Structure 1
């Protein structure tokens, strides 16, 4: 386990443990927060706050089933189980009908059943004691669980919690959420009843003009959704047009409204086509461009052409209404794009192909001090700076191509969350023989020509001959060898890697080793059935290391491995008393491929091997996790496969979902890594919005959803403190078991003790 407490020293009391867990959740350190909760509960087993934080951390790592189990005590405390009351109603009806048969066995049986039913409801009440914020927060947790699992029980819990939030707080947003969940459950009458109440709350009052644009937009979007549910399509269009006219609305609010509309449409609610032009997602633009000419080169992009190129880039961004951009940051077109995006107030995300000092030396400094200063300013103002690799350049051009893959994948992944597709804007001289990772190479890899915009450098030079007296450069027709051959010759290549640890191996005794070897043999057979052949595979005891050329077959291999082991756990439970499960981590990056001087076989070396290995020990057992680089490459590959299938008239379905987890501190002080949870897309989930939001932002927004009267955003702590107080109160009134016997109120430690069983594993156990 990562030494979670070492970050700030060992917490001394319960409050410090709880604050440490909450701070880690706020910081996106979900795995560490999870470890802190587990460790803290060993000292303070009655801290339900730690139990709840731990469940939230689990849900954010993609371990939905485990999180659902850990939230069960919270639901038991604040949700009323209506089952006993319904049984009492049924038993009473049967008993009344049996009154005329006082001497029959049926009558006696009916009366006995009635007595048992009455005993089950003794001490129970139909009113739950929780506030709207608590209901709202937990409803959002179960909505994310439903979006990930498709389980109807999660959807029913979600609706029930939103209904209770609406009943307690009267907030319009809770009402519309409950209505939409009712639509997804097929309960249209209740959905329309709720929509009518929301409409009454919002349609007949004035919206305070002093509220922020985001709050007013959210309120109007809520009203528009209610009008759609009531069949008032013209009124809904007018409401959304009114919301669209607001200035300063963050695109996240628009995307949120778009998701709600999509759910309504999936539930069979008529949605007018005109709304597509009113509720529009933000435009995402990926950029690739020619660098400024180096001394003695060109002319491709002479310095004198800077103002002309800048104007063309600004023009294209205006036409696209660009709001989010992805680019590298070489001097020349890249930095002009970044500056143009910043000038229009748009979001910029920079991907660095390798170590920053090497990048400055290779791609910035030759332009002069002015360009170096602009580069540093661009990175300072960027919304994010991501490294395809933090290692040195070492003269390997293929790192530029890898950076392009990361750009492509990250932009596509983000666009999918925002319900759109990215554009590629390129500043290119239209000449063949492009460098590996250059603009022409990126264009060759871009699959959707309809979303490609090219600024022709050659044409700009022709239109401005005074800026380039020598005319455009002649095309380079010497293509040289294939890029893959170049990579192989250099010994440094881009590969996908899998590290796997078999949890439970250390508990095996000597007499179990033959069974373990049989387990490995069956695992091999199960993997062979997938038809995927790794480029390299190696084992060390309970560790497995796999290397492949591409990310897509590696994803399939990893998920198949997980599924085979789950099946073997059932088949071999009589032979392996301690069930064997897997920790699996995936990564992609540049590695050195060479013949091992000792073993004389192909092997792989470099820091990215270590990075893949350091991710595996600190993840949740039974799930597959991947680095941002792997997910970016996988997304780019899937996008290309989709376009190829469409062009050939063939069907294509995305097989995988990558859910953002957060930033994970790697084992052995190996730095931090952005991590995603990888799973298969469930049946029918193509039409379902991906659950990309994390749970903590949902908790933070719980108090925002107040309909007409908006309240300030609350903190994670203030929401969960309510739950904790409620759980403390519940200890004074223990719940009843069947038959009326009192049961001991479960402590948080009782919940966490599931970690020692077969149904739940915590990191490090």
Structure 2
């Protein structure tokens, strides 16, 4: 019994951390040998939160039939029906959600299931029933103290057609939420859902308007040997003040950036000083990044870098060495932009691209900077702060040319986007692989490399756009059954060998740490679903590809990988 209890606690912990795939693996094994109802509930939760609410519904309905009086099962099943309603807009799911939530509320008097029963009634077109349940919720809570109690009363009074009391409670809840954007976005998303089915006063909607999100790109502080100034240290205070002004005027409270000396660090510090959330991305290992992008400007910049690293969330595109591969910077920039768009879609807010680029650099935007910024889908929300506006006061003249020498990479190790494909029908793999390889000729941009490793095909593309176009092509290829394929998207620096100049696919051998990681993380793939692994998954929204978090997974070396399901 003790072993079972420990396993249940472990699974609850995994679900609480968003590690749904790991939780599902444990529950799947456990329910084969036990009919414990808590294990069954957790299995349904892991399925639903892990992107499979349909399977969760089928599983838990059988459990609920055997335990119709169990309030916890009813509450979980109500949530699954609600998820299915959001996905399909089928009112039958709204009614089923309301009924199961209501049964839970009647039994437990839990205000959470009560308010959900009231809201789902209103959404299903049964406003009178919704008001009745909402009034019961108000009576159940009584004197509210916590954020969630007060926010629930705001929703209950809204459903009861008492906008003034609703407004008062929502205002109080917003004050308690402060800068907890998780709470703010949760209430906003609920109000956003309700507003599609009943009138929500604008003064209530705007209380929980989510903060704007911003991605940042910009120049580093000038190197000591730069012949003409572009971003000298003398204008640093003025640039930081301008960044702060842009943050305030556009109500930006969530930022994504790298952490090079100059613009990046100034943006991160400004966000921090304004009480915002900072998310940092580095293109390769920390020591190399400091050497290439921070240390040349002086030890005080290194100290500021370290301080920010210690206080905020940091993500590495790769932990490998730099080795003069500048394409890693481009990959990182796209991940920063895509992460910002993804966050915007999750909280339904505005997204800005804030830059610090000289007039010349901003107008011509050559190479990677131009290509990356052109991907930004909200061209009317690009704010550039030009150092030129401050150079005259400091006695310098603007220059767009860095004067840096072109550095040759130390090895043939481009940053590639990888697609791993296999099928559960191993007896048909040779036939399937031949068809996939034949599709290379029809690709708009063919892959650069391809290898077969242990009955899995790993294909390397120079851009994520080219990879995604190929995935779409496979779905239309004769002889391919997409429901039988398992596909996973990853990426990073890849070692290439066995060059064939005259063939469509130039390299036949792919190796290195990122190949090993891509093959290992392919274990999370499922038939008929294309998944993408972080941080490369964050870039997909740049190409209008919708993704949904399936799970967070703790790998053997301690790193956390997020697994996304592609919805498009």
Equivalent in 150, 162, 184 of residue 254 of structure 1: 184
**In structure 2, do the counterparts of structure 1 residues 14 and 225 end up closer, same or farther at CA, with 3 Å as the change threshold?**
same
Deviation at 1:381, TM superposition (A): 0.6
Structure of greater relative contact order (alpha carbons < 8 Å, 6+ residues apart):
1
Over residues 355-408 of structure 1, what are the superposed CA-to-partner deviations in whole Å (9 max), with x where a residue is unaligned?
Answer: 1110011111112222212111101110x2111222211112221111110001
Equivalent in 297, 317, 334 of residue 388 of structure 1: 317
What SS does the corresponding residue of 1:544 show, helix, strand or coil? strand
Deviation at 1:38, TM superposition (A): 3.1
Conserved? CA contact 2:177–2:184, under 8 Å = no
What TM-score, normalized by structure 2, do the two folds share? Answer: 0.85
Q: Tell me which residue corresponds to 1:337.
A: 267
| Alignment of structure 1 residues 439-454 onto 2, 5 Å | 443-454=373-384
Equivalent in 521, 542, 550 of residue 636 of structure 1: 542
Conserved? CA contact 1:665–1:673, under 8 Å = yes
Deviation at 1:342, TM superposition (A): 1.7
Conserved? CA contact 1:412–1:422, under 8 Å = yes
Q: Does 2:18 align with 1:28? A: yes
Deviation at 1:338, TM superposition (A): 1.3
Deviation at 1:241, TM superposition (A): 5.0
1:557 and 1:670 mapped to 2: Cα distance?
32
Structure 1 unaligned spans of 5+? 1-10, 80-127, 570-579, 639-655, 682-765
Q: Tell me which residue corresponds to 1:376.
A: 306
1:637 and 1:548 mapped to 2: Cα distance?
15
What TM-score, normalized by structure 1, do the two folds share? Answer: 0.65
Q: Tell me which residue corresponds to 2:492.
A: 589
| Alignment of structure 1 residues 309-388 onto 2, 5 Å | 309-382=239-312, 384-388=313-317
Over residues 639-658 of structure 1, what are the superposed CA-to-partner deviations in whole Å (9 max), with x where a residue is unaligned?
Answer: xxxxxxxxxxxxxxxxx431
Deviation at 1:77, TM superposition (A): 3.3
Q: Tell me which residue corresponds to 1:111.
A: none
1:520 and 1:301 mapped to 2: Cα distance?
52
Q: Tell me which residue corresponds to 1:271.
A: 200
What SS does the corresponding residue of 1:37 show, helix, strand or coil? helix
Equivalent in 45, 51, 62 of residue 56 of structure 1: 45
Over residues 319-346 of structure 1, what are the superposed CA-to-partner deviations in whole Å (9 max), with x where a residue is unaligned?
Answer: 2222211111111221122122222222
**In structure 2, do the counterparts of structure 1 residues 520 and 365 end up closer, same or farther at CA, with 3 Å as the change threshold?**
closer
Q: Tell me which residue corresponds to 2:152.
A: 219
Deviation at 1:61, TM superposition (A): 2.6
Aligned residue pair count: 561
Q: Tell me which residue corresponds to 1:625.
A: 531
Equivalent in 561, 565, 568 of residue 678 of structure 1: 565
Over residues 618-653 of structure 1, what are the superposed CA-to-partner deviations in whole Å (9 max), with x where a residue is unaligned?
Answer: 444443221123322211122xxxxxxxxxxxxxxx
Q: Tell me which residue corresponds to 2:420.
A: 499
Conserved? CA contact 2:257–2:280, under 8 Å = yes
What SS does the corresponding residue of 2:114 show, helix, strand or coil? helix
**In structure 2, do the counterparts of structure 1 residues 474 and 309 end up closer, same or farther at CA, with 3 Å as the change threshold?**
closer
Q: Does 2:36 align with 1:47? A: yes
Conserved? CA contact 1:220–1:243, under 8 Å = no
Q: Tell me which residue corresponds to 2:130.
A: 191
1:150 and 1:676 mapped to 2: Cα distance?
26
Q: Does 2:117 align with 1:178? A: yes
Q: Tell me which residue corresponds to 1:686.
A: none
2:187 and 2:256 mapped to 1: Cα distance?
24
**In structure 2, do the counterparts of structure 1 residues 154 and 78 end up closer, same or farther at CA, with 3 Å as the change threshold?**
farther
Deviation at 1:537, TM superposition (A): 5.2
Structure ID, larger Rg: 1
Deviation at 1:519, TM superposition (A): 6.4
| Alignment of structure 1 residues 645-684 onto 2, 5 Å | 656-665=545-554, 669=556, 672-681=559-568
Over residues 176-201 of structure 1, what are the superposed CA-to-partner deviations in whole Å (9 max), with x where a residue is unaligned?
Answer: 32233223333344334434545666
Equivalent in 348, 356, 360 of residue 419 of structure 1: 348
Equivalent in 143, 151, 157 of residue 96 of structure 2: 157
Deviation at 1:409, TM superposition (A): 0.5
**In structure 2, do the counterparts of structure 1 residues 426 and 224 end up closer, same or farther at CA, with 3 Å as the change threshold?**
farther
With 32-41 and 335-344 compared, the bigger mean Cα shift is at 32-41
Q: Tell me which residue corresponds to 1:602.
A: 506
What SS does the corresponding residue of 2:195 show, helix, strand or coil? helix
Over residues 410-443 of structure 1, what are the superposed CA-to-partner deviations in whole Å (9 max), with x where a residue is unaligned?
Answer: 11101110111311221222223667555x7654
**In structure 2, do the counterparts of structure 1 residues 491 and 554 end up closer, same or farther at CA, with 3 Å as the change threshold?**
same
Over residues 508-539 of structure 1, what are the superposed CA-to-partner deviations in whole Å (9 max), with x where a residue is unaligned?
Answer: 5xxxx6xx7666678889x7999767425555
**In structure 2, do the counterparts of structure 1 residues 427 and 244 end up closer, same or farther at CA, with 3 Å as the change threshold?**
same
Equivalent in 320, 326, 334 of residue 397 of structure 1: 326
**In structure 2, do the counterparts of structure 1 residues 217 and 318 end up closer, same or farther at CA, with 3 Å as the change threshold?**
farther
Deviation at 1:175, TM superposition (A): 3.3
Equivalent in 453, 456, 459 of residue 546 of structure 1: 459
| Alignment of structure 1 residues 27-106 onto 2, 5 Å | 27-41=17-31, 44-79=33-68
Conserved? CA contact 2:111–2:140, under 8 Å = yes
With 559-568 and 176-185 compared, the bigger mean Cα shift is at 559-568
The CA RMSD measured in Å over matched residues stands at 3.9
What SS does the corresponding residue of 1:254 show, helix, strand or coil? helix
**In structure 2, do the counterparts of structure 1 residues 620 and 54 end up closer, same or farther at CA, with 3 Å as the change threshold?**
farther
1:442 and 1:272 mapped to 2: Cα distance?
40
**In structure 2, do the counterparts of structure 1 residues 427 and 219 end up closer, same or farther at CA, with 3 Å as the change threshold?**
same
